[in-house]
Amino acid sequence: MTKLLRVSLFILMLAFVSGFAECYKPVTKNQLPSRIKTVAVPAFQMESQALRYKIESRFTDAVMRELVHRGRGLRVQGEREGADAVIEGVIKSFNFAGVLLDDKGRARIFEVTIAAAVTVRDQTENRVLYDNQNFVFRGEYEFASDPRSFFNEEDPAILRMSRSFAESIVSTLINAVQLEKK
């Protein structure tokens, strides 16, 4: 019976985790309008009351890095002044909850849910290219089971999630702008 329960839990966990895996498809060229050469990414704001250390700066930095990586010649800056487009972000909530317990009843795997508002404005034509006030992103992280080898996994998990979040934002932005152009 215990083996059947373990196999069932493993299959359930595998199905749950695979639902949040994203396929990363590299973009070969920039799909933004050709007039946009410089993109500003001002620091994201944190709206929720649950404060996390440096979460806004980590998510802002991850979006900037992803734009540099996939932007194909775009200049990325932090200030709005002189930019052709601006990506504004507000982290509305940052929640985590235990989803898998170990044999002692302690949470081992946590699901993190981030809700954000993301707006991309074309400053040259003074119009909104993309707006999603409820951009929801989910991920998970795991704690070590051996207390002797335990270290705080939250900080590395936030870094991993910020990179995945940035990939998702940039992919969504490129696809949304591409669809708008057709």
pLDDT of residue 17: 60
Q: Which domains does the chain have, with CATH numbers?
A: 2-181 (3.30.160.150)
Pairing label, strands 107-122, 85-101: antiparallel
Is the CB of residue 165 less than 8 Å from the CB of residue 137? Answer: yes
Closest CA to 72 of 50, 101, 39: 39
pLDDT of residue 73: 77
Which residue ranges of the chain lie beneath pLDDT 70? 1, 12-32, 48-53, 106, 143-154, 175-182
Token pair 């007039």 is found at 35
pLDDT of residue 144: 61
Token pair 């695979």 is found at 18
pLDDT of residue 54: 76
Token pair 């373990």 is found at 6
Q: What digits encode the pLDDT tens for the residues 73-123?
A: 788 999 999 999 999 999 988 887 777 777 777 677 778 788 899 998 998
pLDDT of residue 114: 85
Alpha helices in 71-181 (DSSP H): 154-181
pLDDT of residue 152: 61
